[in-house]
Structure 1
Amino acid sequence: MPSVKLELGKFVTLRPRADGTHRVLFEVPPRLRPSGWSATIPLPIKEPRAGNLADADEVRRIQQDAKALYEKLQRERRGIVKEPDRSMKVLVRAWQASDEWKVLKPASVQSYKAYIRNVLALSEAAGHPDPTHLSVVDVKAFLSFFNDKPTTKKHTLKVLRILMNYAIGLGWRTDNPCATVKVKVPTAKALIWEQSDVDAYVAAAKKRGRPSIAVMILMLWEIGQRVTDARSFRAGAEYRDGVFKFAQSKTGAEVEIRVSDALREMLDEQGDGQMFVFRDESTGKAYTAERLVRVFEPIRDDVVAAGGRALKMKWLRHSCVVQLARHDATIPEIASITGHTLASVHNILSHYLPRDTKVAENAQRKRGIVNS
């Protein structure tokens, strides 16, 4: 067994059991122990159980803990009692103070902050483990809390992967335990809003005393922008006199679009004397992402109860692309309104438009086979 012992680390000893497992101990000779150092420390530290040395994951945890203990021993023998402050919270703070964080777009910052909260909450539940010793097994166990929320799980993994890369940059570790971890998210196809859907949701929003939601739905239906951008539109800045002019948060694409006279009248009334065009009637402030979801849900419930379809507000962006194509707009024309890339417009239409009978009817009308 000496070869296994050497692989596990310095001062690691094994005590065989009759069932073939081992007690794995970190034991420092008395002459080398600093004052107060325990004579025997079971390994792995956080999961003291029978040592199955055929289990590669358990061996890896033993090796990591043995290495950490040996480094701590060396520091204490040199009189350096306090360990470096390495926690997920410290790592997050370092990342948020970095140039990498400062150049992020506001929408990305808000998105990352939501998933950082997940990382910190789970870190706290685990007793604030040192991210230096985080393993692939730890990452998978960490993410298992979100098995019922695959999209949240995917984005939390993304943030954790960035944090571990930053830890490498700080010299805390040499590898990224998230590098080989993958999360599959079932592809959910968006439903395309029709004019009847828009009418139903607008009426339900007004009935609920939410004219801001009614106007936002109409605006998204006409110009197909991201809900994230719409929430932050300011009267007199991004919107003025029936024209939206702004740089999209995700792509940076400059967009300038005129809306219908009917919508302009509603927008001017909605934004009159207010900083934000779309403001929460309850707070007078711009909608947060979470607040918008909570306000929209009862409106959707009302529509569904009346026999309508359960739709998401973010699907209005794809729907606008489809509606523009139905009305003979070219891909460049569509992209100039919605701010998509040409490839994105093509991809949306390839998914949603070919099976649309209205497109076939448009084509036949263009050929002169059928009349308008």
Structure 2
Amino acid sequence: MRRGTAAVAKVTITISNVSWRGGRPRYQPGPKHRKLGLKGQDLKRLDGSWMSAEEAAAWVEAQLRPRIAEVKAAKAAGKRAPRRKAPGAYTLEDLFEDLWKSPKFTAGEPVPGRPKRKVLAPATIRDYRAKAAALAAFDPELYGSDVAALSKPILVGLHERLWHDKGHHMANAILKTLSVALSYGVRKELGGLKHHPALRLGIEQPDARVRVGTIGEMTAMIRAADAIGLTMVGHAIMLGLMTGQRQTERLALMDAGHEKGWRRFRQSKTAAIVEVPETPQLTARLSAAATERRVLGVKVANVVVDPKTGAPFTQSTYNKVYRQVRTAAVAGVKDAAGAWIVEPCPTLADFQDRDLRDTAVTWLARAGCTVPEIRSITGHDPRTIYSILKHYLAIDREQASAAIGKLVLYLESEGAAL
């Protein structure tokens, strides 16, 4: 051995399920641990520095092994293991809890002399909460981890796993909700957040769903509702076709009478007025709905009510009976003698209640209505109307035929001899 040099022995650190790269320890779950739902993680101190070998070994004994036992016990009992929160950290769960308390989610006490804060619609708040709960159930370890440790690679990986397990639309919806929470955290610098890790992730957007019902399909739905004794669903469908209102809005509509060919409705929750021109079809259904409410002794003024309770439909109950009507329309309905009351309409199998809104827009456009005219009835944002028309009417043969017919008339009027 030369003077001034010394042989240095290679030190091999062996800790169960912990790998080392350049002095940086990381928990790497094996197949058995992954089956339990455990995720890999870097082993760092609270200040962000890497744990030593002794600290990593202590982490395995103090946190990993108890967690494995906890998850196994929960699985054996048929329950879900509780989420573990990173000690001393401001977690993703903490961030969502602060988001739910923010002004957009809770208006708080009004300040005299100042405009009332705008709060998100109840349905929007429910949707955000549902997506956050879905994230917590999908990856409880991530939900209980430090928000400051989130990075673009982690979120891209999360999106890929969500897409694989829950589909493209759900993956995007959960990431959108997470992005809203992170935006709030960055603005308030919660948990030390200074940069938004969910920005510009390059997430692919799915094609917009546009499903437009035909006149035959909608006739089958309404007739099926009447045939199986769920006429209130038939009324709700007609309201959707004639007003273009969302389900929650239709279920809250109260009949406020009519004046000079216009039907007036009032939102039971917001008191907003909705006015639409009368049509024979809508008038007939409204008259039938009023008769049914009188027979039932209903006290509320909502156009559509649950006949079992006499109260407005809850969304869950309405969706349940809507599916019953759709199933009947798909299979068809026969009378006691075996004759068809409603012919089977299998194409309705994928038709959802929310598709009534797209159908209303499309039917109005086919009737020759302009975008401002459609908006005056349905309340859509013009961009949404254009989006619906782009996806459907661009390939609509009736529109193409009408357009070419106008071109022919124009050429003839100009004496064109091409």
1:264 equivalent in alignment to 2:282? no
Unpaired segments of 5 or more residues in structure 1? 1-13, 27-41, 50-58, 74-81
Q: Deviations over 1:115-147 (max 9, x none)?
A: 122123235365722333233344344441452
Q: Deviations over 1:345-366 (max 9, x none)?
A: 3443343234434446666599
Please state how far the C-alpha of 1:221 moved relative to its aligned partner.
1.0
Q: CA distance change for structure 1 residues 135 and 65 in 2, over 3 Å: closer, same or farther?
A: farther
Q: Deviations over 1:291-333 (max 9, x none)?
A: 4443323322332232342222222212222222222223322
Q: CA distance change for structure 1 residues 176 and 224 in 2, over 3 Å: closer, same or farther?
A: same
Q: Which residue of 1 aligns with 2:368?
A: 328
1:295-334 equivalent positions in 2, closer than 5 A? 295-305=321-331, 306-310=344-348, 311-334=351-374
Q: Which residue of 2 aligns with 1:116?
A: 132
8 Å Cα contact 1:197-1:308 kept in structure 2? no
Which of 20, 24, 38 aligns to 1:23? It is 20
Please state how far the C-alpha of 1:95 moved relative to its aligned partner.
0.8
Q: CA distance change for structure 1 residues 267 and 22 in 2, over 3 Å: closer, same or farther?
A: closer
Q: Which residue of 2 aligns with 1:8?
A: none
Q: CA distance change for structure 1 residues 89 and 129 in 2, over 3 Å: closer, same or farther?
A: same
CA distance in 2, matches of 1:68, 1:164: 23
CA distance in 2, matches of 1:358, 1:25: 68
Q: Which residue of 2 aligns with 1:76?
A: none
8 Å Cα contact 1:244-1:255 kept in structure 2? yes
Q: CA distance change for structure 1 residues 128 and 343 in 2, over 3 Å: closer, same or farther?
A: closer
8 Å Cα contact 2:99-2:184 kept in structure 1? yes
Q: Deviations over 1:66-98 (max 9, x none)?
A: 71678xx9xxxxxxxx95462333222211111
1:153-192 equivalent positions in 2, closer than 5 A? 153-168=171-186, 169-172=188-191, 173-187=193-207, 189-192=209-212
The alignment partner of 1:23 has SS state of strand
1:273 equivalent in alignment to 2:278? no
Q: Which residue of 2 aligns with 1:30?
A: none
Q: Deviations over 1:4-29 (max 9, x none)?
A: xxxxxxxxxx95689xx963698xxx
1:199 maps to a residue whose letter is T
Which of 139, 142, 151 aligns to 2:169? It is 151
Q: CA distance change for structure 1 residues 330 and 176 in 2, over 3 Å: closer, same or farther?
A: closer
Which of 226, 234, 247 aligns to 2:246? It is 226
8 Å Cα contact 2:264-2:274 kept in structure 1? no
Unpaired segments of 5 or more residues in structure 2? 1-9, 31-39, 56-85, 107-118, 332-343, 413-418
Q: Which residue of 1 aligns with 2:385?
A: 345
1:73-88 equivalent positions in 2, closer than 5 A? 84=88, 86-88=90-92
Using the TM superposition, name which of 269-278 and 108-117 deviates more. Answer: 269-278
Q: CA distance change for structure 1 residues 344 and 90 in 2, over 3 Å: closer, same or farther?
A: closer
Q: CA distance change for structure 1 residues 342 and 167 in 2, over 3 Å: closer, same or farther?
A: closer
Q: Which residue of 2 aligns with 1:98?
A: 102
CA distance in 2, matches of 1:191, 1:23: 53
Q: Deviations over 1:248-283 (max 9, x none)?
A: 99xxx9742244321321343466522543334455
Q: TM-score with structure 2 length normalisation?
A: 0.62
Q: CA distance change for structure 1 residues 151 and 275 in 2, over 3 Å: closer, same or farther?
A: farther
CA distance in 1, matches of 2:240, 2:176: 29
Q: Which residue of 1 aligns with 2:25?
A: 43
CA distance in 1, matches of 2:19, 2:215: 70
CA distance in 2, matches of 1:362, 1:24: 69
8 Å Cα contact 2:257-2:265 kept in structure 1? yes
2:174 maps to a residue whose letter is T
CA distance in 2, matches of 1:109, 1:151: 18
Q: CA distance change for structure 1 residues 292 and 179 in 2, over 3 Å: closer, same or farther?
A: farther
Q: TM-score with structure 1 length normalisation?
A: 0.68
Please state how far the C-alpha of 1:204 moved relative to its aligned partner.
1.7
Length, aligned pairs only:
314
2:25 maps to a residue whose letter is L
Please state how far the C-alpha of 1:63 moved relative to its aligned partner.
6.3
Q: Percent of pairs identical after alignment?
A: 21
8 Å Cα contact 2:163-2:170 kept in structure 1? yes
CA distance in 1, matches of 2:310, 2:155: 41
CA distance in 2, matches of 1:184, 1:207: 44
1:244 equivalent in alignment to 2:265? yes
Q: Which residue of 2 aligns with 1:129?
A: 145
Using the TM superposition, name which of 166-175 and 273-282 deviates more. Answer: 273-282
The alignment partner of 2:275 has SS state of strand
Please state how far the C-alpha of 1:290 moved relative to its aligned partner.
4.6
1:294 equivalent in alignment to 2:310? no
